[in-house]
Amino acid sequence: MNRFIRNLAVATALATAMVGSALAEAHKKGGTLTMAIPQTPRHLNPAVQSGTATGVPGTQLFAAPLRYDEDWTPQPYLAESWETSDDGLTVTLKLVKNATFHDGKPITSEDVAFSVDTIKANHPFKTMFAPVTEVQTPDAHTAVLKLSQPHPALMLAMSSQLMPIIPKHVYGDGQDPKAHPQNSENVVGSGPFKLVEFKRDQHVILERYDGFFMEGRPYLDKIVMRIIKDGSARAIGLENGELQLSSFENNVRNVNRLKKADNLDVTADGYAAIGPIDWLAFNTKSSPTADKRVRQAIAYAVDKNFILKAIMLGAAQQANAPIHPGSPLSDNSVNAYDLDVDKANKILDDAGYAKGGDGMRFKLNIDYGWPAVKPQVEYVKAALKKVGIDVTVRASADFPTWAKRVSGHDFDMTWDTVFNWGDPVIGVHRTYQSSNIKKGVIWSNTQQYENSRVDELLEMAGKEADPAKRKALYAEFQQIVAEELPVYWTNTLPYHTISNKEVGNPPRGIWATSSPMDRVYLK
């Protein structure tokens, strides 16, 4: 119990501190922020569409019970306070009283219950709310989530990216919420900004919602999100001042070039919850990568440093483990498999994979699904030649072609990038749990990795309410998979936020721009 009181106290203290500092801060009100987004969202309702394409505009349109700062501390948002029962089976949210949807109707616990039901039924991430059995609504401003087991992942799942509160009186009209016409136009949101216009391949225009429940927010009058798919065009627009903000930039050449521009701030901060990790995945069921020693030898032969320095040009962070190094649950102290070609050769010799007359031991394929990671794949081919592994690079025409191969388990090795999405239960478990070996589903456990201890640890960690114990469970899990290497993690995806110096408070929290930008202002 005292943990929850402590959490509550911390949250309240932080909220007070935040309000205090916000008041002291010299921010100007008004103005239009012009930012770039790299793709057209399918629609703008994050309740039924995951991903940051929808998330960036969607989190401005819809508020959530909680929001997060830079160090993973939950802060009050639509919920002014929250409490988990001793047994961990009940989470009670107290909603702010003055919150309204963009059509002026009040946001009530009924809407929270409706949102949870809609997300549970339609969102691609089933693990987020799977243990939620019922949402009770004792009064208009109290929502009680009943759980079948303790579910600490719920805390991060209550962020705007994953749990937007949508109006029951709009989306509860009986139409399929995935295809609801008001996902794209006449959106009735709950967030700091309301929709003015969404034009595919052109822009999303948002305008300050005057009735927003947080006093004095948002600071900006308008946000114009211009859809610009070409990275070079975005870079030029940032340089010449036409664009003031762009996020999720991961072309390291552009990023490094823009770091030198006098008018821009460039940062890699703010992507820890999104948590993208690059890795080399192995088919653990096909020979010879089924042999743990072969996977370890490959890890010793593939130099992370080369990838970090020569391919990522120093813009990415090293990753040694399945949880993003920016997460408090990450254990980056596991074996990093620093380059050791002799050791790799020795492991392979000892394992009985002798070199043939041509100096080669065996052949392997390596796949990749998108052009940006071709350098990594070519490097793996060159690096493994040194230890007598003859690698053939298999290109795929496009993402679905690659997805079909990998999810059909028709591969030896593949380069891959997978996102953590906040809590490990949402984005990490799926890669390592044997129950998630599902043919035809990309980013399931396509490595077909099976370890009963790992299954057990993840199961326990998923419902462990005590943070210290939970961290220990994840630490043991990370030690095991780092030893067995179903995948070999190399680096985080070098996402960067680039903003003009005239932009105050550019989003730096753990969800980057997929979080409310009500505190952003123009100097």
Partner 1 sequence: MKFLFPIAQRIFYAIALLIAVLVLNFSMLHLAPGDIADTIAQASGGADAEVIEQIRKDYGLDQPFYIQLLKYIGNVLAFDLGHSFFYNQPVTDLILEKLPATLLLVITAQILALIVGVLLGVFSARNPNGLASYVVTFLALFGYAAPVFWTGILLLIAFSLKIPLFPVAGMIDVTVEGGFFARAADIALHLVLPVITLASIFLALYSRLCRASMLEVLGSDYVRTAKAKGLAEREVVFKHALKNALSPVVTLAGLQFSAVVSGAVLVETVFSWPGLGTLALQSIIARDTPTILGILFFSAFVVIVGNLLTDLVLRLIDPRVGSKA
Work out whether 53 is an interface residue with partner 1 (CB under 8 A): yes
Distance CA 112, CA 64 (A): 9
Pair 457, 480: CB distance under 8 Å: yes
Alpha-carbon 429 to chain mean position: 14
Cα separation of 304 and 306, whole Å? 5
Of positions 43, 94, 361, 429, contacts partner 1 by CB under 8 A = 43
How far is it, in rounded angstroms, from Cα 446 to Cα 508?
33
Query: Residue 125, interface with partner 1 (CB under 8 A)?
Result: yes
Task: Tell me the three state secondary structure of residue 346.
Answer: helix
Residue 53 Cβ vs partner 1, minimum distance, rounded to whole Å: 6
Q: Does 236 bind partner 1 (CB under 8 A)?
A: yes
Given a contact cutoff of 8 angstroms between Cβ atoms, the answer to whether 482 and 335 are in contact is yes
- The candidate with the shortest Cα–Cα distance to 334, out of 345, 318, 346, 347, is 318
Q: Does 421 help bind partner 1 (rule: CB under 8 A)?
A: yes
Q: Which of residues 131-150 bind partner 1 (CB under 8 A)?
A: none
Q: At its nearest, how many Å lie between partner 1 and the CB of residue 442?
A: 5
Only segment of 7-15, 64-72, 123-131, 501-509 that touches partner 1 (CB under 8 A): 123-131
**Exactly one of 400, 453, 466, 523 binds partner 1 (CB under 8 A); which one?**
400
> Rounded distance, CA 196 to CA 206, Å?
5
Provide, rounded to whole angstroms, the least separation between the CB of residue 419 and partner 1: 5
Rounded to 5 degrees, φ, ψ at 14 are -65, -40
Which alpha helices (H) appear in 373-436, and where do they start and end? Answer: 374-385, 399-407, 424-427, 429-432
Q: Supply the minimum distance, in Å, between the C-beta of residue 310 and partner 1.
A: 24
Binding segment for partner 1 (CB under 8 A), chosen from 72-80, 231-239, 356-364, 380-388, is: 231-239
Q: Minimal distance in Å, beta carbon 453 to partner 1? A: 24
Stretch of residues binding partner 1 (CB under 8 A), selected from 98-106, 150-158, 338-346, 435-443: 435-443
Q: Does 419 bind partner 1 (CB under 8 A)?
A: yes
Q: Is residue 224 near partner 1 by the rule CB under 8 A?
A: yes
* 506 is an interface residue for partner 1 by CB under 8 A: no
Does residue 374 interact with partner 1 by CB under 8 A?
A: no
Phi-psi region of 177 (alpha: psi -120 to 50; beta: other; left: phi over 0): alpha
Is residue 283 within 8 A of residue 413, CB to CB? The reply is: yes
Q: Which of residues 173-192 bind partner 1 (CB under 8 A)?
A: 178-179, 183-184
**Residues paired with residue 195 on neighbouring β-strands, in sequence order:** 206
- 240 binds partner 1 per the rule CB under 8 A: yes
Task: Provide, rounded to whole angstroms, the least separation between the CB of residue 72 and partner 1.
Answer: 19
- Three-state secondary structure call for residue 284: coil
Residue bearing tokens 């997929």: 514
Residue 32 or 149 having the CB closest to partner 1: 32
Strands 521-522 vs 503-504: parallel, antiparallel or unpaired: antiparallel
151 binds partner 1 (CB under 8 A): no
Copy the structure tokens of residue 410.
Answer: 């028709």
Q: Which residues bind partner 1 (CB under 8 A)?
A: 32, 34, 40, 42-43, 49-53, 123-127, 178-179, 183-184, 197, 199-203, 205, 224, 226-230, 232-234, 236-237, 239-240, 242-243, 397-405, 407, 418-419, 421, 427, 430, 436, 438, 440-444
